[in-house]
Structure 1
Amino acid sequence: MSRKLGLHRPILDGKVNFPLCLAPMVGLTHVALREVMREYLPQDAFTIWPTEMLNSRRVPDENLETTPETMRSASENGLVPQILGNEEEPIAKTVKRLIEWGAEAIDINMGCPVQKALKHNYGVALMGDPSYAAEVVRMTVKNSTIPVSVKLRAVGSTKEFDELLTFVSGLRNSGAAWVCLHPRTAAQKRRGSADWEQIKQLHQAVDFPVIGNGDVQTVEDAINMLSETGCDMAMSGRGLAARPWMLWQLGEELGFAPPLGKENQKAPRTPEEEGAEYGKVLLKLIQASNKYFGPDRAMRKVRFYVRTTGVWLPFGNALTGVCAKAQTIEQMLELVTKFFDVPHEMSQRTELRQ
């Protein structure tokens, strides 16, 4: 397989050369997880990296170096923080601060279906008003010296594709550099299957990059999405958070050199190899979380990670219990190490939709 899979249109002026990225997720896409995941990125591969969702009304007054959602390591590149917002003044202040912080693009969330976002006319609420959504993009682009992208959800069905195309065209005309489509409606949330046909139709109908999101749980899913829809990148949320080595696996398929430090190794592939690798990821995450957040917050974040991603392990509930039992970071490391002393097989797929 050649490196030509995906990336038919340039993202970040062509700097992005790897067609798989992590989705922004509240409570998960923080600096500690990004640090652990980057160890699996092939050499010379460049992709985009999200933050957790950031409220544009709060960012202007926050200390970005100590706020958990905006903490970053000095060496991180490709950062594309995601913001919620609908008013120009806080958006302008937020964009300015995030550019100074090191953002390489700004992503606008128009896909969040939670009630709090709907109440303030953020997130997916913007999809109900195409002209208003386009105005939010316009005001963000106006105040930004870096690209602005949009993450959005689907319309009800492919029969309503004209509605989606009209909406996306408005974003494009307002200056959006690319869009990411998660083809589930707000009402579906994480239920049902993602309608990849909408990603395919959208990519064929527009002239700028389209990232596909939804139901990417394995590297095979990522390859299938890229090949079946023609999209420029595949984005994976909890699936990639649970399997960071998907980056390594895809790199092998595309001819990239293995990640640094893994030069003479092959990516884990069998259920048992993946189960063991999950254990290694978890131990690294505990240590990285402690480094950035301190012990109390670190243990909370690790427990959330295990509750979210342990569903791919047959004994994920037992692992959740093990992490809940730990009273200290040291005890958590000891208990997790002991848990993975016994081989565990990782499932290919889970009913938990992406």
Structure 2
Amino acid sequence: MGKKFLFNPIEGTFDIVAGEDDYLQASKENDQINFNTGDEVIFDTVDMSAGSAISLNTSTGIFTLSAGKTYKLTCGLRFEYSSSARIGFQWYNITDSVAISMLARIHTMSSTNNYSNLPVMQCIITPDIDTQVSVRCTWEGDGVEDVNAGYTWAIVEKISETFPNVTSVEKEWTEFIPSVDAVTTAPTLATTHKKKASYKVVGKSLHIIWSYSHIWATGATGGSGDYLIPIPAGYTIDTSKVDMASVENTYAYGTPIGHGRIMQDTAWGELTVVIHDNTNLRLIITNENSGGTQVFKFMSNGFFAINVNNQKVLFTAEIPIITT
């Protein structure tokens, strides 16, 4: 009945339930007397079933189908009447108040028992919301008939299922405009510069590639305070997943979420990317001073300020984000 799928995403993970068999076979143990236009065939017995997508109310004969799946509906009915008579029935979508199959019209035979033959009717439905369906009398021509027990049956089975698109798990790289802010006053970038940044979302992580450079610092100002790097608009950092950066000269107060390199005239340093708040990053520079001692400081107007010639900043980061 079901099909089994194996997904191997390039990056990230997602949960999916696939291959579950869903079907329900029903029948009638009791004749249904005076079956008339607008009446539902009351399938009063569940013969066999599997899964949770399909259910039957045996008091009303109404099936309930879970949304997001495709179903095949099949039934076979036998009628009886005191003389030759005509009747029509269809699979009917009760939720949307519309017939969903062709009209099946039959005659009972004018004989001793006056039974009809046993026509079989099928249709396909893919509801986008939980939906109720039934087999309904939609036309009768010569009198009210009886639905015959023992020979009347229905089978409802799921034949396919809608699965999440892999593009919702991993998006393509998207460019955004990199910028530099600061805790107090944002610096001004050099009049002539190059900058490039891209991001993509994988699961609950925002991946960033970021770069900035200039040769001459003409037009640049250093601003005031530690520099901040805003993440792309529309995303919020999940600060509960990391320690926040707050104290200089130590890694203990900021969980590294990225790395890079900074160069400035004859000086250079290694970058460690940490989180400042729910929309900004900060850059810790590891640099050896003139005395041979390593220094760990945030990039700021007082340390590798952006208004110095021959500047280049490059980093990559993987940032935990809040998703809905």
Common fold: TM-score over 0.5: no
More helix by share: 1
TM-score with structure 2 setting the length: 0.19
Higher relative contact order (CA 8 A, sep 6+): 1
